[in-house]
Amino acid sequence: MLLAGKTAAISGAASARGIGRATSLLFAEHGARVAILDIDGAAAQAAAAELGPQHLGLCCDVADKASCTQAAERVLGAFGVLDILINNAGITQPVKTLEIDEASWDRIQDVNTKGVLFLSQAFLPSMRARRQGAIACMSSVSAQRGGGIFGGPHYSAAKAGVLGLAKAMAREFGPDGIRVNCVAPGLVQTDITAGKLSDAMRAEIVRGIPLGRLGEARDVAGIFLFLASDLSAYVTGAVIDVNGGMLIHG
């Protein structure tokens, strides 16, 4: 039990096959009390109920500051303190540079990057007051290699923004005992890519992955567990790749 007695909030954790949901299950297995925050409030409540009565499911649009503030107030009201924040919520859009209109650019940035800022801002004051906290943020291999498989250039830019934001927060809040890290997954089989992957595309992608398979949500959940737990007590400002070797840095 790596998270016994800890409390955690995870954004974007309602969708059944998602990384956030797998993370909430693993955290609960490790003894944490979990708040599932998702734009789909009904699904968030159902997901929390499945974990057990001590968990919480709330509607929260991470791109909306007031929504984040309200969700944080409710989580802190129910749990008293928050030890762990997982900024996982995200959306993508498979378009090319010349097809990106302003509204699409804004929405992709708002959810993927501004959402990390707003939800972190909502919980950081209480973490700072206790001089402890672990925040982990969702980036993507798309940020590192200039495009994944499905994300457009605006998604790469947004996920690269997450890397910079998380590192800056790590620097700023390290003296307050708060760690901030990132996870950069390769292609993980969830609803974000569901139905968009033909057998031929899958085979082509797998050929470029040394470990010879696509990622599973639980592969990423394990890294979030590491970053949330005291096993990573001396790790901050780090980016952990979870891509089966799809991108090996020089």
| Beta-sheet pairing, 84-87 with 133-138 | parallel
Q: Is 90 in the site for ligand NAD (CB under 6 A)?
A: yes
SS3 133: strand
Q: How far apart are CA 121 and CA 132, in angstroms?
A: 15
What are the structure tokens assigned to 88, written together? 């996982």
Q: Which of 24, 88, 144, 229 is close enough to bind ligand NAD by CB under 6 A?
A: 88
SS3 191: coil
Note the helical H segments in the chain: 19-29, 41-51, 65-79, 102-109, 115-130, 141-145, 153-173, 199-207, 217-228
Q: Is 219 in the site for ligand NAD (CB under 6 A)?
A: no
Q: Which of 32, 48, 76, 89 is close enough to bind ligand NAD by CB under 6 A?
A: 89
Q: Is 19 in the site for ligand NAD (CB under 6 A)?
A: yes
Q: How many CB atoms lie within 10 A of CB 240?
A: 18
Nearer to ligand NAD, 128 or 238 (CB): 238
What are the structure tokens assigned to 163, written together? 């890397």
SS3 48: helix
Interactions with ligand NAD, residue window 114-133 (CB under 6 A) = 115
Cα 3 to Cα 211, 220, 236: the distances in Å are 29, 17, 18
Give Cβ neighbours of residue 76 (< 8 Å, ≥ 6 apart).
Answer: 82, 123, 126
| E runs forming strands in 76-132 | 84-87
**In the complex, least distance from residue 105 CB atom to ligand NAD, rounded to whole angstroms:** 15
Nearer to ligand NAD, 36 or 170 (CB): 36
Nearer to ligand NAD, 64 or 176 (CB): 64
Q: Is 34 in the site for ligand NAD (CB under 6 A)?
A: no
Known catalytic residue at 155: yes
Q: Is 241 in the site for ligand NAD (CB under 6 A)?
A: no
Q: How far apart are CA 165 and CA 87, in angstroms?
A: 12
Q: In the complex, which residue's CB is closest to ligand NAD?
A: 90
Catalytic residue among 27, 118, 123, 155: 155
Binding mask 140-159 for ligand NAD (x = CB under 6 A): x-------------------
Nearer to ligand NAD, 4 or 203 (CB): 203
What are the structure tokens assigned to 30, written together? 């490790």
CA diameter of the chain:
52
Interactions with ligand NAD, residue window 163-192 (CB under 6 A) = 185, 187-188, 190-192
Q: Which of 3, 26, 35, 63 is close enough to bind ligand NAD by CB under 6 A?
A: 63
Residues in contact with ligand NAD by the rule CB under 6 A: 11-12, 14-15, 17-20, 38-40, 60-63, 88-92, 111, 115, 138, 140, 185, 187-188, 190-193
Q: Which active-site residues does the annotation give? A: 155
